[in-house]
């Protein structure tokens, strides 16, 4: 069964309604040609962007846009999210004669969706794109909401654009070929939604989990497309997760081990062998410990965070062997988080639910890290 989840956005010029549908379910990718025909009726050709792992999957041949197309293959993994690849893709689009009325189709996980979406956002000052999301992480998060972009050596997702797709296909059948670690990476995001108004998620079938996560994200994006307010809640658990990723990548750049993609392909890494979603799982329990330290929640709620993470088969442990200086380094990365204006800011649970909390003291942030390290 295919579930259609609408993403309703504000109005465009002349009051035209904006928005698109996300189709979730087994076989949703078979809808691609219909989506292209209805979403970009003037298109004469499309550029399909994917990675080498997805291109080698037996089902890739079956994903057809219904128009003449050229396939552009990038290397799998977070390292492909570069300005150099944006330039390479745009030059290839130009050589292929891709017009402004044509379209880009991203087929892959979050890396492909972010990269191809950003190339689409900038080529000809913006061409339409859609995503066939092939990983759990992409289906429940990256493909929805129009955040596109690439990394710089100085940090993740530092260059990007809000550029909404004309549709997203979340084919849950494709998840059957997903390596277990990649599935775990997506489950970290599923765990996050459990605390954003979807408490029943861990007990649901995978299709229903995906549809509920998409609907929850769609409602936050509809409310706050450009993250001026409540969309920031989607970063629950991400402050420590991003710090773990940045610190591991920094160590790798200095030749001190860590970093690299913890996974063979797809969703990038939290470093130290942690996938992004695994790092988010750790970050969720850390956020709960910090919230308790600030008197916002009690023991039961902290336990619930641990239970949800464990029920989804994830771990709440910091990477082994993290020293005191390693914890202080994580703190300095957390201080650079994009939510922090000039202070330490976290999305934290509390009596009124999850919300953005500014002005957290370094002592509390470090204290909660030490607590996490001791468990
Ligand atoms: N991944 C968080 C967001 O799309 O806002």
pLDDT at res. 323: 83
DSSP letter string over 70-83?
Answer: EEEEE-SSGGG-SH
Q: Where are the domains of the chain?
A: 3-223, 237-373
pLDDT by position in tens, the chain (length 375): 999 999 999 877 777 778 999 999 999 999 999 999 999 999 999 999 999 999 999 999 999 999 999 999 999 988 899 999 999 999 999 999 999 999 999 999 999 999 999 999 999 999 999 999 999 999 999 999 999 999 887 777 889 999 999 999 999 999 998 998 888 889 999 999 999 999 999 889 999 999 999 999 999 999 999 999 999 999 999 999 989 987 876 676 677 655 444 343 345 555 556 888 999 999 999 999 999 999 999 999 999 999 999 999 999 999 887 888 889 999 988 988 766 667 899 999 999 999 999 999 999 999 999 999 988
> In 3D, which of 291, 187, 281 has the Cα closest to residue 241?
281
The C-alpha angle 50, 55, 60, rounded to 5 degrees, equals 100
User: How many angstroms is it from 97 CA to the middle of ligand 1?
Assistant: 32
> In 3D, which of 155, 136, 133 has the Cα closest to residue 81?
155
Give catalytic residue positions.
125, 147, 189, 217, 227, 231, 235, 238, 242, 276
pLDDT at res. 245: 83
Q: Which residues have CB under 8 Å from 236's CB, separation 6+?
A: 192, 195, 196, 284, 287, 347, 354
CATH superfamily of 237-373: Dehydroquinate synthase-like - alpha domain (1.20.1090.10)
pLDDT at res. 258: 52
Task: Tell me the pTM.
Answer: 0.91
pLDDT at res. 266: 45
User: How many angstroms is it from 231 CA to the middle of ligand 1?
Assistant: 7
Pocket test for ligand 1, best of 234, 237, 280 (most atoms within 8 A of CB): 234
User: How many angstroms is it from 289 CA to the middle of ligand 1?
Assistant: 23
> In 3D, which of 210, 101, 214, 221 has the Cα closest to residue 163?
221
Q: H-helix or E-strand containing 22?
A: strand 17-25
DSSP letter string over 212-281?
Answer: HHHHHHHHHHHH-TTSSSGGGGGGTTHHHHHHHHHHHHHHHHTTSS--S-SSSSSS-EEETTEEHHHHHH
Q: Which CATH class is domain 3-223?
A: alpha beta
Using only C-alpha atoms, the chain has a radius of gyration, in whole angstroms, of: 20
Number of other CB atoms surrounding residue 304 within 10 Å: 16
CB 86 within 8 A of CB 94: no
pLDDT at res. 13: 76
CB distance 141 to ligand 1 below 6 Å: yes
What is the Cα–Cα distance from 105 to 43, expressed in whole angstroms? 12
């Amino acid at each position: 069964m295919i579930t259609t989840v609408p993403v309703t956005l504000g109005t465009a010029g002349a009051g035209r309604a904006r928005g698109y549908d996300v189709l979730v379910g087994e076989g949703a990718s078979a809808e691609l040609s219909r989506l292209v025909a209805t979403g970009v009726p003037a298109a004469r050709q499309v550029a399909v962007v994917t990675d080498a792992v997805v291109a080698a999957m037996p089902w890739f041949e079956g994903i057809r846009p219904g128009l003449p197309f050229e396939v552009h293959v990038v290397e799998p993994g977070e390292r492909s999210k570069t300005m150099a690849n944006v330039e390479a893709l745009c030059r290839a689009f130009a050589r292929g004669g891709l017009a402004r009325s044509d379209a880009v189709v991203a087929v892959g996980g979050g890396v492909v969706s972010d990269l191809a979406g950003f190339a689409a956002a900038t080529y000809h000052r913006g061409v339409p794109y859609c995503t066939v999301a092939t990983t759990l992480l992409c289906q429940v998060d990256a493909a929805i909401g129009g955040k596109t972009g690439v990394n710089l050596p100085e940090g993740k997702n530092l260059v990007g654009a809000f550029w909404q797709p004309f549709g997203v296909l979340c084919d849950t059948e494709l998840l059957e070929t997903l390596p277990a670690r990649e599935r775990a990476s997506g489950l970290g995001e599923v765990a996050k939604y459990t605390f954003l108004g979807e408490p029943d998620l861990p007990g649901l079938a995978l299709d229903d989990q995906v549809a509920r996560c998409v609907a929850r994200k769609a409602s936050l994006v509809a409310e706050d497309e450009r993250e001026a307010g409540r969309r920031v809640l989607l970063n629950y658990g991400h402050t420590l997760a991003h710090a773990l990723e940045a610190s591991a990548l920094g160590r790798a750049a200095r030749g001190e081990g860590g970093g690299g993609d913890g996974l063979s392909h797809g969703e990038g890494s939290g470093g130290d062998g942690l996938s992004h979603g695994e790092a988010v799982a750790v970050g969720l329990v850390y956020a709960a410990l910090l919230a308790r330290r600030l008197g916002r929640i009690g023991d039961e709620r902290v336990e619930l965070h641990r239970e949800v993470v464990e029920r989804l088969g994830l771990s709440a442990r910091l990477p082994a062997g993290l020293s005191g200086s390693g914890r202080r380094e994580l703190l300095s990365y957390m201080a650079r988080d994009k939510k922090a204006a000039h202070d330490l800011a976290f999305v934290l649970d509390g009596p009124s639910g999850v919300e953005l909390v500014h002005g957290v003291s370094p002592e509390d942030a470090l204290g909660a890290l030490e607590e996490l390290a001791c468990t």
